[in-house]
Structure 1
Amino acid sequence: MLDFLYSNLGRIFGAEEITKVQWKLGNDLPPTFIAFILVGALVFVIWSPFREAIPSRRVLLVFLRLCGILILLLVLLQPQVNFEFEEKGVSRVYVLLDRSESMTIKDDGQESRWEKAVKAFSGSSDGVLQQIGNDHQLEVMTFGDKINNLSVEQIEEELPGAKSSAIGSALEGMKEKELSAILLFSDMAWNEGVDPVGVAGELGRRGVALFPVPIGKSNSPDASILSVHYRDRVFPGEEIPLKIQISSSPELEGLTTDLVVNLGDEEVARQMVTYSGGQQIMEIVIKGRTLKGQFPLKLELEGIEDEISLANNKAERSLTFID
């Protein structure tokens, strides 16, 4: 009976479930004082009707005075009831799918990382969509060099191929949104934008849970140009030494490729690089143009098969020739 009552009260208050009901008195009057007043009121109720000659009036007086005593008790005792309930709201979960070029890699020779990510998210029986989709409001986005909003139905039509993987920037875009959690499907090979670790910490301090879902092998081959050191203002025709810092993953150790340097649209140097499986310094000397002005200086490590990303194989600077 009480459960039925509490259930209906919960609907009135907009709560899905009342978990606890607590009764208490709001007045701290001494019990002896309350008892004294109550006894006096009862004596008055019982004694006073005998002065009435008509019996029907006696009954009416007793009833009215008992009601008065009840009201007096309510005023003195000030009974209160507290309801505790759990309000179950629908949380919003953002799903971020990495669609960078590295997600096209087939680690097992059969399925690409993108196909594995899509299957992990929307698989027919054990995918994330089936497990949490009914309890949470899902917002689906893909990211590479920019973020795209998608419906669940559009995921199957989406193809990876973005030249960069800005995981940190994608997470940073979530900071202004109202959300409970983020599911990140990626091979975690970020090569552009802010550091995702720092952004994840900021989200955590806001109470937003981040659940990374790694896709693919963690030891995928990759190489990148970290920095280029040179004098950016030189005389026409002058020789220009370049010092290039290169990083390569251990899987590339011993493999070779070419480092190509272009000044404007002209190739001015090409040198073979043997990867060390870590960081290394390459030195190349190029000859400047005879013309004055500013020209783009472009460097590129030619890609190796199954390299995780080619976007970080390139670097572009500028070179100014002066009198």
Structure 2
Amino acid sequence: MQPKKIYFAGAGGIGMAALERYFLSKGYRVAGYDRTETELTRQLAKEGVEITYNDTVEAIPADFRDCPQQVQVVYTPALPSDHPQLSYFRSQGYPVLKRSQVLGLITKGSKSLCFAGTHGKTTTSSMAAHLLNMSPLGCNAFLGGILRNYNSNLLLSATSPYSVVEADEYDRSFHQLTPYIAVINATDPDHLDIYGTEEAYLESFAHFTELIRTDGFLLLHTGLKLKPRPGKGVRTYTFGRNNGDFHAKNIRYSQGSILFDLVTPWNTITDLSPGIPVDINIDNAIAAIAAVLLTGEQITDQTIRQAMSTFKGP
């Protein structure tokens, strides 16, 4: 992306916030519009994003107007297509991209761990990002929630080849990604105002599996209706609470904590304890750890235990 000024139409969205923070870290001038002032937009303003809550063209910073060669516009599909500022940028020939397209461009050259599913993707992607960040590998992470361990939804590393992405099926946004490891937690029908039918919803996930790199992996929760279509060379694994290539055993509950052992295709990692001790985080932890292990990197059992036990949640 050539322009060094970026305008975010819908700047207060959690997914947009991660991109705004990313471009600020790269030295870009960042501005944008949102309808409502929130704690997140106030924090973004403190970090350097110039945010307006007025949707008129005149509210756009003067040096972002009448200069289409100097400004990249990024928008969220949640914004109406006839939004005054978005209409202005399009009529004046500005380059305009969806948030998902920009995220796809940023992560395309990395080894992306992409977490998809009707539910669970924010927690599992946050767990995986925390685990990688606590290891020598590090990662760049674009998360759909503010990770309490870091008070941010963006993690950055200048050296890591890995990115962690929440792969959002809304508006088929995840079709812009190029996963190295694709994780699908659940495919219960959702967003039927967009997809129309359960069959169309499942087809969208099936197409997502076609986008995995030929040297990559697909990690599926057991019991899904989905019929994946990964390409030649992609290796497929399953996970679940009680069965799958990655699954839990010896689950113990004691004094407000949970302990379990994780069975993997290669070994068993004992005494894992989710930092937030609720049942669903057994499944979430299995998905996150499995995705990181599929990278083939040498991460010690102790690092995994420490990451899981210190995870504070999004």
TM-score for both structures, normalised by structure 2: 0.25
Larger Rg: 1
Q: TM-score, normalised by structure 1?
A: 0.25
More strand by percentage: 1
